[in-house]
Amino acid sequence: MKQRTIALLLMILLVLASACAASGKTQPSESPDVSQSESIPHETSGTTTPEPLSTPEPESTVESTPEPTPEPTSESTPMPDMTIASAGIVSGAMKPEYGAKGKQFVKGKIPSLSLPLTVNHIPKGTEVLSITMIDPDGGDWVHWLAVNIPVDGETCEILENSSIDWPEEIIQGKNDFGTVGYGGPTPPSGTHTYIITVYALSETLDLKAGFKLAAMQKAMKGKVLAEAVVTGTYAK
């Protein structure tokens, strides 16, 4: 009887132990903290070698030849217009010695002392100068024609009495007095204005001494680079 009771108690203890073990296995585990699970690295089974990143090919750069920097173009200063001045003209009037009141004559009554001239700003390319002296108040009376006056630079000095002293290379035409060379002012009455014009020519003129104004004008066509005028009055 005693042994049966002990056996029964042992069976009860085994049943209770089995029930406790079963209840321990079925108890749900606590839900993990989401924040912590995010921080725990995910374990992967096995070791996977990451594929190597392909190195991007460098972009081909074409070296462009730099364009040459244009040099600053400085506009050349235009040359001033050619001008004439004369020490023989004072306050617009010709000095007496260069006309009828002078002391130098040819053929007894024709004034022959030519006045000095200074020509400035002669243009490049000028080979020779030519001169005309006309009296429009005397019906365009021709007083002086001269061509093939050589130049050397931008200034030319035509000295006093050049009409007499010039070499043969400088050709002079015939004035309306009928002589070759300078014939000064001899106004019959009142005051006349005399126009002296100097021409810059690109080449010499093929004229002979004693030429007329019309022949000179024809020979100068297409050769005039510049011209300048100075005027002077002369009274009887």
For residue 150, tell me if it sits in a domain: yes
* Residue 99 pLDDT > 70: yes
What is the tens place of the pLDDT at every residue in 111-158?
999 999 999 999 999 999 999 999 999 999 999 999 999 999 999 999
Q: Is the dihedral of CA 168, 171, 174, 177 positive or negative?
A: negative
Looking at the DSSP bridge assignments, the partners of residue 142 are 134
Q: Which of 177, 143, 151, 182 is nearest to 165 (CA)?
A: 182
Distances (CA, A) of 91 to 87, 94, 135, 183: 10, 8, 18, 22
Residue 231 is assigned to a structural domain of this protein: yes
Q: How far is CA 5 from CA 14, 19, 45, 158, in A?
A: 14, 21, 55, 168
User: Where does the pLDDT of residue 6 fall: very low under 50, low under 70, confident under 90, or very high at 90 and above?
Assistant: low
Return the ∠ at Cα 210 (arms to 143 and 155), rounded to 5°.
60
Range scoring the smallest mean pLDDT among 18-27, 186-195, 202-211, 223-232: 18-27
Helix (H, G, I), strand (E, B) or coil at 122: coil
Tell me whether residue 107 is in a domain: yes
> Residue 199's pLDDT band (boundaries 50, 70, 90)?
very high
Residue 36 tokens, joined: 């912590």
What domain count does the chain have?
1
Domain that holds residue 151: 83-235
Residue 109 lies in a domain: yes
pLDDT over 90 percentage in the chain: 66
pLDDT of residue 233: 99
What gap in Å lies between CA 173 and CA 130, rounded to an integer?
11
Q: How crowded is residue 120: how many other Cβ atoms within 10 Å of its Cβ? A: 14
Distance CA 227, CA 231 (A): 14
Gap between the Cα atoms of 225 and 200, Å rounded: 5
pLDDT in tens, 19-78: 555 555 444 444 444 344 344 344 444 444 445 555 555 555 556 666 766 665 556 678
Q: Among the listed ranges 22-26, 34-38, 187-191, 219-223, which one has the minimum average pLDDT value? A: 34-38
**59 is a domain residue:** no
Amino acid sitting at position 206: D
Element containing residue 156 per DSSP (H, E): strand 156-158
Q: Residue 40: what pLDDT?
A: 39
Report the CATH number that the domain containing residue 228 is assigned in CATH. 3.90.280.10
Two structure tokens written together for 114: 């030519």
Asked, for residue 76, whether it belongs to a domain, the answer is no
Predicted local confidence at residue 106, as pLDDT:
97
Residue 87 lies in a domain: yes
Contact 63, 57 (CB under 8 A): no
Which residues, 6 or more positions from 149, have their beta carbon under 8 angstroms from its beta carbon?
128, 129, 130, 131, 156, 158, 166, 170
Is pTM beyond 0.85 here? no
Q: Is residue 190 part of a domain?
A: yes
